[in-house]
Structure 1
Amino acid sequence: MNSSVPTPPSSAQAQPPVSILLIAYNQQGMIADAVRSVLAQTYTPLEIIISDDASRDGTYAAIEAAVRDYAGPHQVITRRNTVNEGISAHLSRLAAMARGELLFVAAGDDMSVPTRCERVVDYWLEHDRRPDLIATDLADMDEAGNVHERMTPTELDNYRSFDDWLAHKPWLVGAAHTWSRRLFERFGPMLPGSAAEDQVMTFRAIVSGGALSLREPLVRYRRGGLSSKRRYRNTAELVARMRQGNGFALVETEQIQHDADIAGLGDRMRAALAPKLAREQFIQSMFNARGLGERVALLTGSRAVKLGLRLRMFLYTTCPAVYAPSLWLKRLKGR
């Protein structure tokens, strides 16, 4: 005779499978700490994908050494790209490989506390699996591994609509983010060539199931990593970095517009992004201009861009040496 009382789920059924996406690039001196921190996670069932983005140093060898003797409960996959893909394409590749319902982002120069996955999953289940992104606080960690003050990114609970996101872009640290698989099923992989994934994935979440903040420092965020500010030795380095940043900005703008189109917000986003797109396209045109005449024409004709930016870019692309004294002073102050 069949019982009318439902059978409670087993503990394995109640705990959703989750994946950690640990990405590394030229971090041979610190990747072992990051690997050990994800191997020490208390949560199961857990899949850990550790991926090297074609590093030029011994990062992948350090990854292999760090996992060689692991005999714990987690499934561990190590891999490396044959060519450098960059953050957005790299994470998208791993997200397509992963089998978890939640995808934890981890950076090769940071460390996750042992209960990170456990606490985030509990928080997600408390909210009926609705949020598509959960961001935790972080602990500031110096290069020697000493932990300092707490880092508290913008409270995402206050972002409930496109209008909230549009009114004030949140300050984010993507290395402390967890995404739902649904975001990739709805929006697809991120475009290659973006410098970071944090704003893109947060926007996706806000216009989908929502984004929440878990106010616990579950990631130790290392100073001096790949995301740290750079000091330029000369104007050539500065200009090269500006060109790179311009490329990143154009890709991110394209990505945000693409995602807004999918969310049914295309026209509103197009209007909101118009000033930024005009700026970045102007900067790109200045860098690509063939000679002084084209730059002068851009300087005088690009009225949709503020005059101050037009003048600065004209100087950067025509006579960057005028900025050499300011770079020298910054280096001097940084000593």
Structure 2
Amino acid sequence: MPLSFVVMAYNQERYIADAVAAAFAQDHPDLEIVLTDDCSTDATFAIMQDMASAYTGPHRIILNRNDPNLGLIGHVNRLFSLATSDYLIYAAGDDISEPHRARAIAEVIARDRPLLIHSNVTDMDEAGVPFEKQRERTRHEALEAKNLPELARAMSHALGASCAWHRDLYDRFGPITETGLYEDQVFLFRARLIGTASYIDDRLLRYRRGIGISFGSKNDALKKLNIDIAILRQRTLDCQKVAPDRADILKSLRKKLDKRLAERDALIAGASPEA
């Protein structure tokens, strides 16, 4: 089964060599590796370029550098024109995939044909040292139990760093048009709207916690509200495009969006939003 393994990076010169080496070490036999940099201002792309030039293994290598910088969402949209396979395995430039990650994902694809696959991860610190105590993740169980109107208004979705996507999540919906959000909160909803998602309870990725861009919004109430508003708007557009008859989902999204807009207005005005 042909798969695309996409290493996406921006200003991650401290970590990118480990991410690329992990991609090269994948033991799935039919793999193209896409190394793509979003116009980094440090040595990230030079490291990717050098490693690609020196690579002599079995995988096909595609090397890309965006110019100009596209930003996170623009870069995610770009991935679908760079990769050639139906399924794209996403790898951030600061994480490390286990050698069997692509193979494990391929096995689930062959069995279930989901549109999105996500997995458990090993949490590690900035230096790459695994935490002594690892979290037991149950979020996927809660997500699977939600119906579509409930899922539409849920802000906590699949861990994007662990995901693989079918290109229908792009081809049928078009590019993500809202900015200031994260792709994981878009693609799981899209997958469930037109198909299924699968979870692998295997720690297929070593996940560096506390340094990615998503961590910067956790303690910024206004930024978090703006992210939630962008997510809800994108989901509304996606539902209107592929399931315009699902009035129940659209009503659920409208109610949640109105609530978040009111909370943002109250925060900006310096008042506490109603409970």
| TM-score class normalised by the smaller sequence | 0.7 to 0.9
What residue number does 2:162 align with? 176
What residue number does 1:255 align with? 234
Q: What is the SS of the residue equivalent to 2:27?
A: coil
What residue number does 1:141 align with? 124
What residue number does 1:112 align with? 97
The Cα of 1:125 is off from its aligned counterpart by 0.9
What residue number does 2:248 align with? 268
The Cα of 1:255 is off from its aligned counterpart by 1.5
Contact 1:86 1:194 in 2 (8 A): no
Moved more, 221-230 or 244-253: 244-253
Q: What is the SS of the residue equivalent to 2:57?
A: coil
Letter of the 1:313 partner, please give it. Answer: I
The Cα of 1:72 is off from its aligned counterpart by 0.5
Q: Which has the higher contact order (CA 8 A, sep 6+)?
A: 2
What residue number does 1:190 align with? 176
Tell me the distance in 1 between the aligned counterparts of 2:126 and 2:154: 32
Letter of the 1:271 partner, please give it. Answer: K
Contact 2:5 2:89 in 1 (8 A): yes
Matched residue count: 267
Contact 1:26 1:57 in 2 (8 A): yes
Q: What is the SS of the residue equivalent to 1:271?
A: helix
The Cα of 1:57 is off from its aligned counterpart by 1.5
- What's the RMSD between the two structures over aligned residues? 2.7
Tell me the distance in 2 between the aligned counterparts of 1:188 and 1:229: 27
Query: Which residue of 158, 166, 169 corresponds with 2:144?
Result: 158
5+ residue gaps in structure 2? none
The Cα of 1:278 is off from its aligned counterpart by 3.3
The 5-angstrom pairing of residues 1-335 of structure 1 reads 16-127=1-112, 129=113, 131-148=114-131, 149-151=133-135, 152=137, 154-155=139-140, 158-159=144-145, 161-166=147-152, 168-191=154-177, 193-227=179-213, 229-230=215-216, 248-265=227-244, 267-278=247-258, 281=261, 305=262, 310-315=265-270
What residue number does 1:8 align with? none
Q: What is the SS of the residue equivalent to 1:82?
A: coil
Q: What is the SS of the residue equivalent to 1:60?
A: helix
5+ residue gaps in structure 1? 1-15, 233-237, 282-304, 317-335
Tell me the distance in 2 between the aligned counterparts of 1:92 and 1:52: 13
Instruction: Give the TM-score of the pair, scaled to structure 1.
Output: 0.71
Letter of the 1:188 partner, please give it. Answer: G
Tell me the distance in 2 between the aligned counterparts of 1:162 and 1:87: 26
**1:247 to 1:168, Cα distance in 2 relative to 1, 3 A:** closer
The Cα of 1:17 is off from its aligned counterpart by 0.8
Contact 1:137 1:150 in 2 (8 A): no
Tell me the distance in 1 between the aligned counterparts of 2:66 and 2:260: 30
The Cα of 1:263 is off from its aligned counterpart by 3.0
Q: What is the SS of the residue equivalent to 2:54?
A: coil
The Cα of 1:51 is off from its aligned counterpart by 1.0
The Cα of 1:271 is off from its aligned counterpart by 2.2
Tell me the distance in 1 between the aligned counterparts of 2:192 and 2:160: 15
Moved more, 49-58 or 214-223: 49-58
1:259-293 Cα distance to aligned partner (Å, 9 max, x none): 11123255333322234433555xxxxxxxxxxxx
Q: What is the SS of the residue equivalent to 1:273?
A: helix
Contact 2:140 2:158 in 1 (8 A): no
Contact 1:24 1:52 in 2 (8 A): yes
Instruction: Give the TM-score of the pair, scaled to structure 2.
Output: 0.86
Letter of the 1:197 partner, please give it. Answer: E
